[in-house]
């Protein structure tokens, strides 16, 4: 699944990381459809991020790097997330670039 972007992807030249606020996750699995390399539904029915070596990070709010080739998919996930609970931020200053707290 992909969404057309009218503007260049913000943050494409910088290291980004992503985390999920599980308190707001509806468990619909949209993020897993967009980016199964980064997101996975755990047995509690909520989405969690995976480490760069494909390990599910089961701590609520765990943070993982966004692989550059998957940036579009992760950004689309954040935009489409019904819970508004996917947060994409710069590694350097932790400023959110996509998600409910993005400026
Ligand atoms: S898209 Fe958002 S609400 Fe849906 S499973 Fe993923 S994190 Fe949860």
Residue pLDDT, tens place only, 27-78: 999 999 999 999 999 999 999 999 999 999 999 999 999 999 999 999 999 9
| pTM (two decimals) | 0.90
Q: Any residues with CB less than 8 A from the CB of 63 and at least 6 apart, and which? A: 17, 18, 19, 49
**Ligand 1 atom closest to Cα of residue 39:** 6
Distance CA 42, CA 29 (A): 10
Distance CA 28, CA 93 (A): 31
pLDDT of 12 above 80? no
Tell how far the Cα of 51 is from the centroid of ligand 1, in angstroms: 17
Distance CA 51, CA 73 (A): 16
- Among 3, 20, 49, 64, the mutation site with the greatest number of ligand 1 atoms within 8 A of its Cβ is 20
User: Comparing C-alpha atoms, which of 75, 51, 66 is closest to residue 14?
Assistant: 66
Mean pLDDT across 12-25:
93
Domains of the chain are 16-98 (3.30.70.20)
Q: What pLDDT sits at residue 13?
A: 78
- When pLDDT is cut at 50, 70 and 90, the band that residue 3 belongs to is low
Pocket of ligand 1 (CB under 6 A): 20, 25-31, 47, 77, 81-83, 85-86
């Amino acid at each position: 699944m992909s969404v057309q972007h009218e503007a260049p992807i913000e943050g494409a030249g910088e290291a980004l990381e992503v985390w999920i606020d599980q308190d707001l996750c509806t468990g619909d699995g949209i993020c897993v459809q967009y980016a199964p390399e980064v997101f996975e539904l755990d047995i509690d029915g909520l989405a969690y991020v995976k480490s760069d070596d494909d390990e599910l990070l089961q701590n609520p709010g765990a943070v993982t790097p966004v692989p550059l080739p998957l940036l579009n998919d992760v950004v689309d996930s954040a935009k489409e997330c019904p819970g508004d609970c996917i947060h994409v931020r710069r590694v350097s200053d932790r400023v959110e670039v996509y998600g409910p707290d993005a400026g």
